[in-house]
Structure 1
Amino acid sequence: MITQNRRLLGGVGGAVLLAAVGGFTVARCTADPAAEAQKSSIGEDSAEAPPSSLAMTDEAIRAADIAVEAVRSGGLGSEIPAQATVTAAPNGEAIVTARAGGAVTRVFKRLGDPVKAGEGLAVVQSRDAAQIAADRTAADARAVLAQRNLARERQLYEQKVSARVDYERAQAEAAAASAEARRAQVAASAANVTRDGSGVIVASPISGRVTAASISVGAFVQPETELFRVADPRQIQVEAAVGPLDAQRLAAGDTAIVELPDGRTIDARVRSITPTLSGETRAATAVLDVRDSALVPGLAVRVRLRPSRGDVSGAIVVPEEGLQSLEGRDVVFVRTKQGFRAQSVTIGQRSAGRVEVTSGLKPGQMIATRNAFLLKAELGKGAGEEE
């Protein structure tokens, strides 16, 4: 009897277990396929539409050293790339010399020191300076004596004591003595003779900084020997070498972009173009006006000249480093209020590090140029994290 009851309970338990398994299978077949299909659909949509925007603050953009530039239309024909050199403007550099030979007794300025126009840089003790000072003193004394003689002859002539010819002779002598005194004074001023007349002061004609100094106390220098060079960093220009055909397209007033070695760009303007070609390079020289304290004479730069004459197109030109490949398509990163957005573009010709964009951009939009690859890497990292 007990054995029969155990068999009955075992059969009931097996039926309950079979019912539970069957119910789970039915629920799985009726509910899970829709959920799985929905999950599969969401996964597929995410794969087809990767993120294209990247949020970045202004501080983060500066920290990553990402440059932003406004694009403009005109095609490759609207720009002339050229190598250039920063030089001092004619009024921006001065060669300071000694106006008389002698021994250097004092040096006031050293390499790199700031100076003002007319400020003394050194003192040269000179016998020539002593002679110039003596000539000035003698000329002043003769001028004073001539004026006194003229006054006396005028008085005698008015009193009918002396003849008119004596009075006229005194006038001529006074005029000659005054002219000689002025000449001696100008010579002393040009030589910058010291007050005591023992030497000459070597002074800078412009304000700026000392860029070269070849002088030592006690050294003997000859007249017109170069002792210092002074340059004003605000008075600079950029000289670009352009071909003869490109030179014909340029005119005074055309705009230009100066690309610095560190990646920064500076706006410039064409001041003039030489009418002849250099005998060595067979190229004309375009002189650009630019104002930037970061530029120093001798710095090699690259410029993009924008001629006002010549064939242009409606294509937009962007730096080649601003063009990136993302998911098999060409994109540029357009600046937005929140950061950047990857914008698909169609490209055309390439030349000298520049690329034509035939569609996908509008003139005036701001795009990332230098270090744009960092945005691509960050965007790819964000897509990987979402997956």
Structure 2
Amino acid sequence: MITQDKRLLGGVAGAVLLAAVGGFSVARCTADPAADTQSGEKAEEDAEAHADSLPMTADAIRAAEIAVEAVRAGGLGSEIIAQATVAAAPNGEAIVTARAGGAVTRVYKRLGDPVRAGEALAIVQSRDAAQIAADKAAAEARAVLAQRNLARERQLYEQKVSARVDYEQAQAEAGVAAAEARRAQVAARAANVTGDGSGAIVASPVSGRVTAENVSLGAFVQPETELFRVADPSKVQIEAAVGPTDAERLAPGDRAIVELPDGRTIEARVRAITPGLAGETRSATAVLDVPGSLQPGLPVRVRLLPSRGEVSDAIVISEDALQTLEGRDVVFVRTKQGFRLRNVTVGRRSAGRVEIVSGLKPGEMIATRNAFLLKAELGKGAGEEH
């Protein structure tokens, strides 16, 4: 009986297993082949998207010195590429001269030192300054004496003791003495005479840093000799040389992009365009207002964007941003996670700039300077996967 029950249980278990296998086979046979194909294609697309993506943190981007710039439409015809120089603004640089001739007895500032407006740079001990101080003291004394004489003559005139002509004479003498005292005071201020009257203070009229010095302790200097130059790096302008035809397209207020030697770019505005042409270069000068601090004399390149320029839908990017990968022209678009490879179609090229006919939209952020590092990193990652 027990043997018969075991045989019965074994037959039931075999039937259940057979049914399970049969059901699995039926499910495989009845599954939708199109769904399997779509799943496979989606997996391939995801794998391809992952292969074109390059995760990178903001800190890593800064460490690699990868510049990111927003692309814009306009075409090469709308840009004017010009070489330019950073120059001190008229109110940002001062030539400091000796106000009186004499020997340099003290030097307070040297090349590169910070300076405040009105701060002393040096002291020149001068007989001219001493004479100016003496003239000032004498003129002030005569003015005081004339005022006292005028007060006395007024009192005598009011008491009918002296004639009116004497009172009027005292008035005239007091006026002349006061004018002479004011002239002497102005001369003393112009010479910047020291308090004891022994010398002249060489002071800076602007705040900034000493950019040039031509002074030695003990040296004798003549009046109006240039001793220092002081410049404020926050008060600069950019002077760009443009051709006559391009100058006609520019107007005050037009945008400009300044490309610095270290690869950075900053925004600027056209303040003025000179009406005449330079004699040697036969070019006009576009003067740009630029924010921030730049070193006067620094050579830069500017991209001027005239409001009356040619209109185009083509995107313009730097040649540094364009990379070649497996025969394709590509750029790296900034994403939240890092960068992603994007195929583009290239148009015209000029002066380090490239038109992108398709593949990018205005406003997208792409890697420009050091974009080749992203290409190398992406290629390394592909090699590791294989």
TM-score computed with the length of structure 2 as normaliser: 0.86
Instruction: Tell me the CA shift for residue 46 of structure 1.
Output: 11
Q: Which residue of 2 aligns with 1:77?
A: 77
Q: Which residue of 2 aligns with 1:186?
A: 186
Q: Which residue of 1 aligns with 2:105?
A: 105
Q: Which residue of 2 aligns with 1:9?
A: none
1:17-32 matched pairs, under 5 angstroms: none
Percent of residue pairs bearing the same amino acid type: 81
> 2:47 and 2:313 mapped to 1: Cα distance?
35
Q: Does 1:227 align with 2:227?
A: yes
Relative to structure 1, the CA distance from residue 49 to residue 186 in structure 2 (aligned partners, 3 Å threshold; closer, same or farther) is closer
Contact 2:79 2:309 in 1 (8 A): no
Gaps of 5+ in 1: 1-40
> 1:49 and 1:160 mapped to 2: Cα distance?
111
Q: Which residue of 2 aligns with 1:197?
A: 197
Q: Which residue of 1 aligns with 2:176?
A: 176
Q: What root-mean-square deviation, in Å, do the aligned CA atoms of Structure 1 and Structure 2 show? A: 1.9
Instruction: Tell me the CA shift for residue 327 of structure 1.
Output: 2.5
> 2:210 and 2:337 mapped to 1: Cα distance?
47
Relative to structure 1, the CA distance from residue 267 to residue 349 in structure 2 (aligned partners, 3 Å threshold; closer, same or farther) is same
Q: Which residue of 2 aligns with 1:291?
A: 291
Q: Give SS of 1:103's match.
A: strand
Q: Which residue of 2 aligns with 1:327?
A: 326
Contact 1:87 1:236 in 2 (8 A): yes
Q: Does 1:167 align with 2:160?
A: no
In the alignment, residue 355 of structure 1 is paired with which amino acid? V
Relative to structure 1, the CA distance from residue 361 to residue 45 in structure 2 (aligned partners, 3 Å threshold; closer, same or farther) is closer
Q: How many residues are treated as equivalent by the alignment?
A: 346
In the alignment, residue 228 of structure 2 is paired with which amino acid? F
Instruction: Tell me the CA shift for residue 50 of structure 1.
Output: 8.3
Q: Which residue of 1 aligns with 2:208?
A: 208
Deviations 1:74-112 (A, max 9, x none): 111221110000111111111111111001111111111
Relative to structure 1, the CA distance from residue 48 to residue 181 in structure 2 (aligned partners, 3 Å threshold; closer, same or farther) is closer
Instruction: Tell me the CA shift for residue 258 of structure 1.
Output: 0.8
1:108-147 matched pairs, under 5 angstroms: 108-147=108-147
1:19-98 matched pairs, under 5 angstroms: 51-98=51-98
Q: Which residue of 2 aligns with 1:10?
A: none
Q: Which residue of 1 aligns with 2:9?
A: none
Contact 2:242 2:283 in 1 (8 A): yes
Q: Does 1:239 align with 2:272?
A: no
Instruction: Tell me the CA shift for residue 238 of structure 1.
Output: 0.8
Q: Give SS of 1:291's match.
A: coil
In the alignment, residue 193 of structure 2 is paired with which amino acid? V
> 1:110 and 1:45 mapped to 2: Cα distance?
66
Q: Give SS of 2:256's match.
A: strand
Q: Give SS of 2:333's match.
A: strand
Q: Does 1:337 align with 2:351?
A: no
> 1:364 and 1:236 mapped to 2: Cα distance?
30
Contact 2:95 2:229 in 1 (8 A): yes
> 1:379 and 1:48 mapped to 2: Cα distance?
13
TM-score computed with the length of structure 1 as normaliser: 0.86
Q: Which residue of 2 aligns with 1:354?
A: 353
Q: Which residue of 2 aligns with 1:256?
A: 256
Q: Which residue of 1 aligns with 2:366?
A: 367
> 1:96 and 1:288 mapped to 2: Cα distance?
26
Contact 1:256 1:306 in 2 (8 A): yes
> 1:273 and 1:137 mapped to 2: Cα distance?
51
In the alignment, residue 232 of structure 1 is paired with which amino acid? D
Instruction: Tell me the CA shift for residue 292 of structure 1.
Output: 2.4
> 2:218 and 2:323 mapped to 1: Cα distance?
64
Q: Does 1:318 align with 2:322?
A: no
Contact 1:259 1:265 in 2 (8 A): yes
In the alignment, residue 260 of structure 2 is paired with which amino acid? L
Q: Which residue of 2 aligns with 1:20?
A: none
Relative to structure 1, the CA distance from residue 273 to residue 175 in structure 2 (aligned partners, 3 Å threshold; closer, same or farther) is same
Instruction: Tell me the CA shift for residue 124 of structure 1.
Output: 0.7
Instruction: Tell me the CA shift for residue 142 of structure 1.
Output: 0.8
> 1:46 and 1:255 mapped to 2: Cα distance?
41
Q: Give SS of 1:373's match.
A: helix
In the alignment, residue 193 of structure 1 is paired with which amino acid? V
The 4+ residue runs of structure 1 with deviation greater than 3 A are 44-50
Contact 1:50 1:383 in 2 (8 A): no
Instruction: Tell me the CA shift for residue 291 of structure 1.
Output: 2.2
In the alignment, residue 95 of structure 1 is paired with which amino acid? I
